[in-house]
Structure 1
Amino acid sequence: MKILITGGAGFVGSSLAINIKTNYPSYEVICLDNLKRKGSELNLPRLAKAGAIFVHGDIRNKEDFDALPIVDFVIESSAEPSVLAGLEGTPDYLINTNLVGTINCLNYTKKCGAAFIFLSTSRIYPIKAIEKLNFEEAETRFVLSDEQSVPGVSSKGIAENFPLDGARSLYGATKLASELMIHEYNEFYGMKTVINRCGVLTGPWQMGKIDQGVMVLWVAKHYWQQQLAYIGYGGSGRQTRDMLHVKDLYRLIDFQLHNIDKVNGEILNAGGGVEVSASLQELTQICQEVTGKTIPISKVAENRAADIRLYVTDNTKVTALTGWKPEISMKQIVTEITEWITENEEALAYVLK
């Protein structure tokens, strides 16, 4: 099998490539990346050691696909992943990467006669609709109620049939627009496709920052004993997300690579679910336990643009269809990230510190 992974030197792309090569050494894995994100260059030796092929290119440029060989699968994991992208200044890079770039990937996939696995995001769901959901305010987190006035949501989280009317951030809009194009290629070109709407992805080798990769950021700030802040919702730190370890995501992608007919045309929410979720308060507690360090955390009452109170993934559909569900716990995730920073402190300091 030959596989092209876009964003292949990024956190998700490199993790998928290394896991595929580890489990299927005979597969040819090509990683295309423009190395724009700070720290992505640190993954190049890891990819080389695993036997993956790195190609320096940009999905925004159609001609960068011309030199690539014919493949069996394209895993589209490239993105400008920040929910704040384009809100200040021009959205050109965001749109050209997350939408035009995906269309370029689809055209390359069509030329190859290949199948297409797309990593979308939970951020395609509208902000105001999520903010209006019924919730309870527990001691350390916000919790979704079972009684809701809209479909696709319960105490289990948000499902695929949650309403899509409304604004969702420029980032979310580009990913949803890409999803719409994928449906068209599936229907009218007969391309085999699957869309994965991922919750918050995390794990070692993620170059976390304030607007994307929050879990690594939280662990890193504890490790180096730097300040953090609970921003928004009164500064309580109760806002809640589920987390999905990238190795758990790999297990789902592995299934899809080898059972594409079973998931062809599907949209699948995939996240940590209630079982692997935490509020900022709870994440702070876990970081303190694992690192043995306590840091100052300030409180900012005002909400940030495009923020939401809580998001938890309802994995009911993907579990029923594939048998997949997340296995790696919050504490294990924090422990692995802490160990990774400890082992690579000098190399990571300029990115994370």
Structure 2
Amino acid sequence: MKILVTGGAGFIGSALVRHIVANRPDDEVLNLDKLTYAGTLTSLRAVEHSPRHRFVRGDITDRALVGALLAEFRPDRIVHLAAESHVDRSIEGPAAFIETNVVGTFTLLDAALAYWRGLGPEARAGFRFHHVSTDEVFGSLGAEGYFTEDTPYAPRSPYSASKAASDHLVMAWHHTHGLPVVLTNCSNNYGPYQFPEKLIPLMVIKGLAGEPLPVYGKGDNVRDWLFVDDHVRALCAVFDRGRVGETYNVGGNAERTNLEVVNTICALLDELRPRPDGQPHARQISFVTDRPGHDHRYAIDAGKIRRELGWAPLETFESGMAATIRWYLGNEAWWRDILAGRYDGGRLGLTGAV
């Protein structure tokens, strides 16, 4: 197959590109990424010389560019991952989220529909537009229950609202125009190459530097953690075998409070990179003002993708976290380059606090 991946220099996108090149020898990838602050070509070094991977720097809101790439590459799949994704940044500057996540998705759908309509009958039947989204569109759970594919949308941050809008656009293009789409909503991803503003890499980096480890509120907010390579396998299962017009929830079955996650990181750092003074890294934990509108709990019921497509996560939270921490310890040059030029480790999103 020919697969167009948007956002393929980002965290999940680059993992998908690396997976396709390494494990699907008959597939070609066209990688379209704007290279905003969170996109890094260094995440693609493993595939930069592959004849089956081509990178194009460009914006999904550029209709002429997207149309030209579709006409030239003739993809069988579009996997749409390009998005602004950090809640704190959406509080600080929501305009970029509306532009990329809403306008960008509309532009891509408009171009994809025109391209799909021009295909022959067999190619039209085989084409898929796969939109990758988040569990945050469902809002916040109480102490019990899980998000299912039928959970009503209730986004509560500018980020999740923009992703909810893009989900609705994708389904509208399917129901109105017949565009063959599939949609996935995933839980919190973690793993190698994640931009350092996110919780796990940020705690690793600050832990190594001996700095305070800032935990929002009481640290009791709960997330379902999904190792990125498990997510990538789920994406492939869905765009290969998923039913047209269906959504699939993808979760790691690994609920943890933020404080539990940080304590796990501290324990692994104690084992793999002890502090010079011999004290535990947990001594660096510091509780800070909570994020405005912080959702309390997310949890995914991934039963549908398990039943229909046979997918299940291979990594436990413990094995995935150990692999992740070892990767960050062994690849300091990757994240130190980012800290030197694009992100100073500071906090965003306090402008919405009351």
Residue 167 of structure 1, CA deviation: 4.7
Q: Does 1:278 align with 2:256?
A: yes
**Cross-structure match for 2:19:** 19
Q: Deviations over 1:95-133 (max 9, x none)?
A: 110011111111222233231111111111134xx3xx3
1:304 to 288, 291, 316: 291
Q: Determine if contact 1:239/1:309 at 8 Å carries over to the other structure.
A: yes
| Identity in percent | 30
Residue 162 of structure 2, aligned match among 168, 174, 190: 174
| Cα distance in 1, alignment partners of residues 302 and 40 from structure 2 | 30
Structure 2 CA distance, aligned partners of 1:351 and 1:341?
13
Structure 1 stretch 213-222 or stretch 177-186: which is displaced more?
A: 213-222
Q: CA deviation at 1:238?
A: 2.3
- 1:187 counterpart = 2:190: no
**CA separation of 1:350 and 1:217: change in aligned 2, threshold 3 A:** same
Residues in 1 aligned to 2:207 and 2:318: alpha-carbon distance in whole angstroms: 14
Number of the residue aligned with 2:265 = 287
2-structure distance, mates of 1:225, 1:105: 44
**8 A contact 1:4–1:75 mirrored in 2:** yes
More helix per residue: 2
2:84 aligns with 80
Q: Which of 110, 133, 136 in structure 2 is aligned with 1:123?
A: 136
Kindly report the root-mean-square deviation, in angstroms, between the aligned alpha carbons of the 2 structures: 2.0
The residue type equivalent to 2:236 in the other structure is D
Alignment partner of 1:329 is 2:316: yes
Q: Contact between 2:136 and 2:298, CA under 8 Å: does it hold in 1? A: no
Match of 1:249 among 228, 231, 251: 231
Q: 1:317 aligns with which of 275, 282, 304?
A: 304
Q: 2:84 is paired with a residue of what secondary structure?
A: coil
- What's 1:105 paired with? 108
Task: Using structure 2 for the length normalisation, give the TM-score.
Answer: 0.83
Within 2, Cα distance between the matches of 1:313 and 1:208? Answer: 25
Do residues 223 (structure 1) and 226 (structure 2) align?
no
**Structure 2: gaps of 5 or more residues:** 117-126, 275-279, 340-344, 346-354
Q: State the TM-score, normalizing by the size of structure 1.
A: 0.83
Q: What is the match of residue 148 of structure 2?
A: 159
Partner of 1:238: 220
Report what 2:351 is aligned to.
none
Within 1, Cα distance between the matches of 2:91 and 2:325? 32
Write the letter of the residue equivalent to 2:204.
Answer: V
CA contact (8 A) 1:84 1:169 kept: no
What is the deviation of 1:348? 1.6
Question: Do 2:189 and 2:225's aligned partners in 1 also have CA atoms closer than 8 Å?
Answer: yes
Aligned length: 316
Alpha-carbon spacing, 1:330–1:87, altered in 2? closer, same or farther (3 Å): same
Query: Match of 2:326?
Result: 339
Distance 1:9 1:336, change over 3 A: same
Structure 1 segments (4+ residues) deviating >3 Å: none
Are residue 264 (structure 1) and residue 244 (structure 2) matched? yes
